[in-house]
Amino acid sequence: MRFLTLIGALCVATTPSAYAQDKWTIVIHGGAGEMARGKTSPEQDQALRAGLNAALDAGAGVLAADGSALDAVEAAIKVLEDDPRFNAGRGAVFTWEGRNELDAAIMDGRTRAAGAVAGITRTRNPISLARAVMEKSPHVFLGGEGADRFSIEQGLPQVDPSWFAIPERRKQLERMKADKLSWYDVDLKFGTVGAVAIDADGNVAAATSTGGRTGKRWGRIGDAPVIGAGTYADNRACAVSATGAGEYFIRVGAAHEICARVRMKGETPKQAADAVMAEIGQLGGTGGVIVTGPGGAADWSFNTPGMSRGSASSTGERKVALYGDED
């Protein structure tokens, strides 16, 4: 009888709901680039950290309540999209023609279902539109006017395009044109936002949202909404969100490449992320990635002076950082 009682106690202790409380992680980023202590004012430093902490609170709150990784990454991204300090949603950079055109993607590692949008102009939270594409349409990727129309049909909150525009971003475009600078010189940092998570059930998800880069032309689309380039999630491997010079991440298929290395070569997410970022660097690209997967590790890799980033987990560990020397 004592033996049976012991077995029963062990079974209760290892039920999924009990195990769940020890096994979630969320990692976020707010862009990689020229963030250095000498180039970031104390006020900017404090504001960026506050924004990252707010996003972590939103995502971690979902996971701590036994919510899904998919819900967690969407919740975190929505906070960052509404924060004008980041290049996503409100605060997005301007195209050459002076518009804000927004891109986003989301992916469920459990089913490998995905949704993405590019060049949208009126949906308050682009990440929610990307999720609607995944769950409410037969497609994966919608763009421009069609995506805007789909958003209205789905009843997602709409805003006037002026909602996204802030004076600082317009000044960046004006300076770029007046001084004939590159987008890199004007932006100083890549403000794309992203989130990856693993939930109590072991499911991973990834989400990325961006306004692109200052002065983009001809309907340019970067890596953020491209499934496999800037966003990817697979329960068999990991979840990845990228930020940086998107053309290079597209050429490498960065997010999928990281997951493939984990799944096929047995590398850890950190090893795979470092290897792919090294390859991007060899091609001349700059930026960074965040990664999580089975085991709940919170990893990132970047080849720029800094990357706005943060992580939280069910163990109580929490970190928010901006500069390279904080690791």
Catalytic amino acids?
Answer: 192
Write down the residue that tokens 């000044």 correspond to.
Answer: 171
Under DSSP, the state recorded for 13 is: H
Q: Retrieve residue 54's tokens.
A: 């707010």
Half-sphere exposure of 173 (CA within 13 A, CB side): 21
Query: If you write DSSP's letter for every residue of 177-219 in order, what string do you get?
Result: HHHT--HHHHHSB---EEEEEE-TTS-EEEEEEE---TT--TT
SS3 label, residue 27? strand
Write down the residue that tokens 């033996």 correspond to.
Answer: 3
Q: Are 88 and 102 spatial neighbours (Cβ–Cβ below 8 Å)? A: yes
Backbone angles phi, psi at 64, to 5 degrees: -65, -25
Half-sphere exposure of 24 (CA within 13 A, CB side): 29
Write down the residue that tokens 């862009």 correspond to.
Answer: 31
Write down the residue that tokens 């100083």 correspond to.
Answer: 188
Taking the C-alpha atoms of residue 139 and residue 35, their distance in angstroms, rounded to an integer, is 37
